[in-house]
Structure 1
Amino acid sequence: MTATVVLLPYPGAGVPPAAFPFLRGARIVYAAGLTAEVADQLGAKPVPDSATLAAEAADVPLVLFATHREDAAVRALPGARVIAQPAGSGLVEAAQVMDTLRSPGGCPWDAAQTHDSLRQYLVEETYELLEAIEERDRPALREELGDVLLQVLFHARVAAEDAGEPFGIDDVAGELVDKLVGRHPHIFADGEHVHSPEHQELKWEELKQAEKRRLSIVDGVALGQPAAALAGKLGQRSGRAGIPLDLFPAGSGAGVELFRSAATARRAGVDPEGELRTVAKQFAADVRAAEANARAAGVDPATLEADGWRAYWPKPR
């Protein structure tokens, strides 16, 4: 087989330079994803059915241009040489779609949103992604990652319209690249060798502290995060600074006990938010199981009192 498949990151992306050598030797060029103008310049034809495509690829050299959406066409050429775009190229199309939705003539709802109005969706989508991770749900993970990415694209597009201090998605990506490179000098420069994940985490925090010129070890801790996660983060930060446990909040009360438990757990390498969520979700599952047991016995769960709940509660695993 002498077929070459050129995967385009999005429709209209253009011909990548890596494809030119194969175009010179091709007898047939098929295009799905190229603009009509570029397809005409190459003398490209519409992609035929899979059987025809496979038969022609067995006889003559051909080049097939297709986006990742043309899976059927690509599968018809299982032994083909594949020229793929760099990872992340598809993000360009996502940014273009967001731009279209937000621009004049686009979606009225998208055009009306602000950073403040979008906050609830950022929180909701983040928790839905967290649930997909916890449930090991791969299809949901893929979808929810896209929904979180949408929030980033959306906020960056809104920020680009700011009259006073605009910035766009390329600025966001550029700052991220600078941060990743700067925080990994052992990879991108001649920095000190990092010999473990724990060492890397410590170096990351040291570099962050120096970059941001923070005056306190608790500067940069997001105080709006869930309480168990906040207490855990403060426990971690204070542990690195050598603050002893006896200086944790003292006294009685649920708040003090919860803080000490969460902060101490994080110092021991346990994620208190994750642990608490696991226990809470198991409790919710036990409630549902007890209700189901009651219904199976012909009892309305709404009528259950303490002894009734005990009778139908699932056995410990």
Structure 2
Amino acid sequence: MSVVVVVPPELPAVLPAAAWPALRDADAVFAAGDLPEVTRVALDAKPAPSPEELAGLSRVVLVASSRTDPGAAALLAAGAAVVETPVPPLVEATAVMDRLRSPGGCPWDAVQTHDSLRQYLVEETYELLDAIEEGDRAALREELGDVLLQVLFHARVAAEHETDPFDVDVVAGELVAKLVGRHPHVFADADRVATATLQEENWERLKQAEKRRESIVDGVALGQPAVALAGKLGQRSGRAGVPLDLFPAGEDEGSRLFRIAATARRAGVDPEGELRAVAKRFAADVRAAERAAREAGIDPATLEADGWRRFWPA
């Protein structure tokens, strides 16, 4: 029996394991016209004859990039078996992003830059945070996909840089190296780490040495929300032994807020998350009071202090 082996263009160097017996037993191995040359050469396959001639042969293997290749379609119509490997969704997502960005793709995607995409990265990150806080599993899946889109989009834009291009494979490779290097207790012969706290300390120590940072505050993202920033600075300075009495001592609101956020993070509390939770509860109380006022026939826009107290949820 003849066999059509489908090697998807997203994975030109990956041959399905089930194809090897067919390749070994075939009288001839042909390469379809849509097969990348590098794949044809690696397989030492001959250029395929016409679809009509292929359909009349037996015990041949045609390696193609898709079932829709004319030769593949002719063999399949003649009863040939097909062997193919599904493209992993992550690889497929990268290919889709590449097509959207390439000539003939989407005009909007084509004109985006790292700078123009910043707002979407921030928005999608906060939408993911909301899904986590709400415990909404369906939303969590969707928002994780939207954040992944931002990673793929930025990597695709980066691949077009004139002097320093890199793509998502380079990004992933550097991530693997980082994860392995900062977990020597898992991937090397370092002593086991007993607690998450110790691992966090080891991570920061290894990062400081790896990046050759001169200051304990190097690498702190100064553009993050102010409460999170104050908390991070409090945590970093605490690990270095900076005493609490060196925190900003003024009684202005900014200094007081910094002390609260930084001290909370040193104590293991996420000030950004705690403040968000309180703010969301407050917003829910406002909505509940407005709803109660409407049910009482009162326009919430007319409420004053005593009115708010009357309808405020217990």
Question: 2:76·2:82 contact (CA, 8 Å) conserved in 1?
Answer: no
Answering whether residue 218 of structure 2 is matched by residue 186 of structure 1, we say no
Matching residue of 1:99 = 98
Matching residue of 1:208 = 207
Question: 1:232·1:271 contact (CA, 8 Å) conserved in 2?
Answer: yes
Code of the aligned partner of 1:218: V
Matching residue of 2:313 = 314
Question: 1:232·1:263 contact (CA, 8 Å) conserved in 2?
Answer: yes
Q: CA deviation at 1:17?
A: 1.3
Matching residue of 2:249 = 250
Question: 1:262·1:272 contact (CA, 8 Å) conserved in 2?
Answer: yes
Question: 1:12·1:34 contact (CA, 8 Å) conserved in 2?
Answer: no
Matching residue of 1:90 = 89
CA–CA distance in structure 1, aligned partners of residues 217 and 72 of structure 2: 58
CA pair 258-96 structure 1, distance change in 2 beyond 3 A: same
CA–CA distance in structure 2, aligned partners of residues 268 and 112 of structure 1: 46
Give the secondary structure class of the aligned counterpart of 1:234: helix
Question: 2:16·2:83 contact (CA, 8 Å) conserved in 1?
Answer: no
- Between the aligned residues of both structures, percent identity stands at 72
Matching residue of 1:238 = 237
Question: 2:19·2:83 contact (CA, 8 Å) conserved in 1?
Answer: no
Give the secondary structure class of the aligned counterpart of 1:211: helix
Matching residue of 1:153 = 152
Any idea what the Cα deviations from partners look like across 1:251-308, whole Å, max 9, x if unmatched? 2011111111111110110000000000000000000000000000000000000100
Q: Which moved more, 1:185-194 or 1:257-266?
A: 185-194
Q: CA deviation at 1:192?
A: 2.4
Code of the aligned partner of 1:110: D
Matching residue of 1:16 = 16
CA pair 304-11 structure 1, distance change in 2 beyond 3 A: farther
CA–CA distance in structure 1, aligned partners of residues 102 and 223 of structure 2: 32
CA pair 202-45 structure 1, distance change in 2 beyond 3 A: farther
Q: CA deviation at 1:181?
A: 0.8
Q: CA deviation at 1:35?
A: 3.3
CA pair 288-171 structure 1, distance change in 2 beyond 3 A: same
Matching residue of 1:173 = 172
TM-score norm. by structure 2 comes to 0.77
Code of the aligned partner of 1:216: S
Answering whether residue 267 of structure 2 is matched by residue 268 of structure 1, we say yes
- The answer for unaligned runs of 5 or more in structure 2 is 1-5, 25-64
35, 43, 56: which is aligned to 2:67? 35
- The answer for unaligned runs of 5 or more in structure 1 is 1-7, 25-32, 47-61, 68-84
Question: 2:234·2:263 contact (CA, 8 Å) conserved in 1?
Answer: yes
CA–CA distance in structure 1, aligned partners of residues 78 and 205 of structure 2: 57
Matching residue of 1:49 = none
RMSD: 2.9
Matching residue of 2:32 = none
Question: 2:16·2:85 contact (CA, 8 Å) conserved in 1?
Answer: no
Question: 1:23·1:63 contact (CA, 8 Å) conserved in 2?
Answer: no
Runs of 4+ with >4 A deviation: 10-15, 18-24, 37-46, 62-67
TM-score norm. by structure 1 comes to 0.76
Larger Rg: 2
CA pair 21-196 structure 1, distance change in 2 beyond 3 A: farther
Q: Which moved more, 1:37-46 or 1:184-193?
A: 37-46
Code of the aligned partner of 1:240: R
